[in-house]
Amino acid sequence: MKTLDEKETWQAALGELEVVFSKANYSTWFKDTFVLEIAEDEITVGVPNAFTKEWLENKYHPQIFEVLKKIHPNLKNATYAVATNSARQAPKIDSADNSDINLKPTQSYTPTQIPVADKPQPAFNLNAHYSFDNYVVGNSNRLAMATAQAVAANPGTAYNPLFIYGGVGLGKTHLVQAIGNEIIAKSPKKKIVYVSCEKFTNDFIASISDKKTNEFKKMYRDADVLMVDDIQFMAGKEGTQEEFFHTFNALHQANRQIVITSDRVPKAIPQLTDRLSSRFGMGMVADIQPPNLEMRQAILRNKCAEKQCSLTDDVIDYIAQNIESNIRELEGAITRILTYSQMNDVLPSLAITTKALEDIISNKNKIISVEKMLQMTADFFNITTVDLISAKRNKELVRPRQIVMYLMRHEMSLSYPKIGQHLNKKDHTTVIHGVEKIEKEIARDVELHKELTALKEKMHAFN
């Protein structure tokens, strides 16, 4: 087996880690990291600052060590050291919809200096890789693509705000950043601010504690284009919602463009104030659905071209047939296959592909436990598992309860009495009614269909 050097090792490790962690965590904590040294049984990972070092050691070490040990089986320890990567080029975190936020973690808010007006304005946190040219278009994302191009052509006038929603890893971030990059290419003086909802929230909290609220407001309200990713994480944060409400109004009244992404439609975001929900829906709401087989094949070929690698048609077909709903996982599969082939010094044939992806494919077919399904559904609808299985008849509880009944029946093949036992000993006739109600509504209720799709994705992600 071929031994990988420092750069190859970390590139292979990042290919695994990008699937393990959320897009925000991955791009926040693994940016500017690299393998500093490979000893006989120890690997030292270089990190940009002490804060990142502490975070990786305390939070993510088990996952990092497990991935590195797959690459170097004799590994006994992984350590972290603050260092710069001037001696060699760090592997670039660069993949479809997973390099969302090019941020360095900070312990406190630091306002960004506003540039002089006659100089080109900076495109905060945009990844130049994301463009309309390398975005694969199909029936599942055609509307979102068309509206994004319209916004890029006429920001602040075409669709304002533009609200794009869809499941994890379907290309929302690629499309949003493509808007920013297109605007900057045409109007370099435009100030583009792209942040995650988490970043906006953290900046807001830090600005209060540091007594720099004016700097915070200036940074966000002076933007020509404000793009906020994963707005659903604003749910329940009353102070952040209040601040974002005023930021939204200030920008909208000045005809500044606002672009927002979420994993669900505005009205389905729990604990979001009505005034924000209505504002999010006042412009254009466009969805992105999971790609069909032909689109997945096109995406794989596009990614191969970007990586300057070649996979045979049977390998492309195998990946597309077995990884159905997540573009990020498609690219992760390519990275995994190439790494496996490189480590074993073989060509990426169908047999090698099957071997390299056996863990991913087998995990996809595993059934999660009832407890995990209940927790997953409760988390998705921002309720507790106690309320989910209770006898309460609140509107916000009845639908999630019927959905979990449907999933237990169709995804886990449980009997109606067995489902009732798991749901606080509910009568089987109650379960039958709940399952049949979802079965009838799923054909005509688009939002219900999308909620079920998102939940099924999370079921597979649990494995």
pLDDT band at 100 (very low <50, low <70, confident <90, very high): very low
Contacts (Cβ under 8 Å, ≥6 apart) of 309: 334, 338, 348
pLDDT in tens, 397-427: 999 999 999 988 887 778 888 899 899 888 8
Task: State whether 195 and 261 are in the same domain.
Answer: yes
Q: What is residue 130's DSSP assignment? A: -
Any domain includes 107:
no
Q: Is 252:220 a contact under the CB 8 Å cutoff?
A: no
CB 455 within 8 A of CB 377: yes
How many of the other CB atoms lie within 10 Å of CB of 139? 11
Give the count of domains, the chain. Answer: 4
350's tokens: 């169908």
Q: Does the pLDDT of residue 107 top 70, yes or no?
A: no
Place of tokens 């068309």: 146
Among 337, 364, 391, the domain boundary falls at 364
In a domain, 245, yes or no: yes
Mark whether 394 and 284 lie in a shared domain. no
Distance in angstroms (rounded) separating the CA atoms of residues 83 and 105 = 15
Q: Are 216 and 207 in contact (CB under 8 A)?
A: yes
Contact 417, 432 (CB under 8 A): no
Same domain, 390 and 340: no
In this predicted model, what pLDDT tens digit does every residue of 67-93 receive, in sequence order? Answer: 898 888 888 999 999 887 754 444 444
Instruction: Let me know whether 144 and 206 are in one domain.
Output: yes
Phi, psi torsion values for 449, nearest 5 degrees: -60, -40
Q: What is the pLDDT of residues 135-182, one digit of tens each?
A: 988 888 899 999 999 999 999 987 899 999 988 788 899 999 999 999
The CA-based dihedral angle spanning residues 446, 448, 449, 452, taken in that order and rounded to the nearest 10 degrees: 160
Looking at the structure, tell me whether residues 266 and 324 fall in a common domain.
Answer: no
Domain assignment of residue 115, yes or no: no
Q: What is the CATH number of the domain that holds 308?
A: 1.10.8.60
CATH number at residue 409: 1.10.1750.10
Q: Output the known binding site.
A: 169, 171-173
Sign of CA dihedral 241, 243, 249, 255: negative
Residue 326 has pLDDT above 70, yes or no: yes
Binding-site residues for ATP sit at 169, 171-173
pLDDT at 462: 53
- CATH number of the CATH domain containing 193: 3.40.50.300
Tell me: pLDDT of 103 over 70: no
Residue at a domain's end among 312, 347, 364:
364
Better-predicted residue by pLDDT, 187 or 325: 187
pLDDT higher for 4 or 137? 137
Q: Letter for the amino acid at 264?
A: R
Terminal CA-CA length for the chain: 29
Domain around 357: 293-364
Per the domain annotation, does 212 fall within a domain?
yes
Predicted confidence at residue 97, as pLDDT, reads: 40
For residue 98, name the pLDDT band (cuts at 50, 70, 90).
very low
* Mean pLDDT, residues 351-375: 78
**Is the confidence at residue 276, as pLDDT, over 90?**
yes
Rounded distance between C-alpha atoms, residue 328 and residue 331, angstroms? 5
On whether the CB atoms of residues 138 and 298 are closer than 8 A, the answer is yes
CB atoms within 10 A of CB 75: 18
Identify which has the larger pLDDT, 290 or 278: 278
Report the mean per-residue pLDDT for the chain: 83
Task: Kindly report the pTM of this predicted structure.
Answer: 0.59
> Residue 364 has what pLDDT?
55
Strand partners, 78: 43
Q: Which of 173-177, 329-333, 453-457 has the lowest mean pLDDT?
A: 453-457
Which range (101-115, 343-357, 360-374) has the least confidence?
A: 101-115
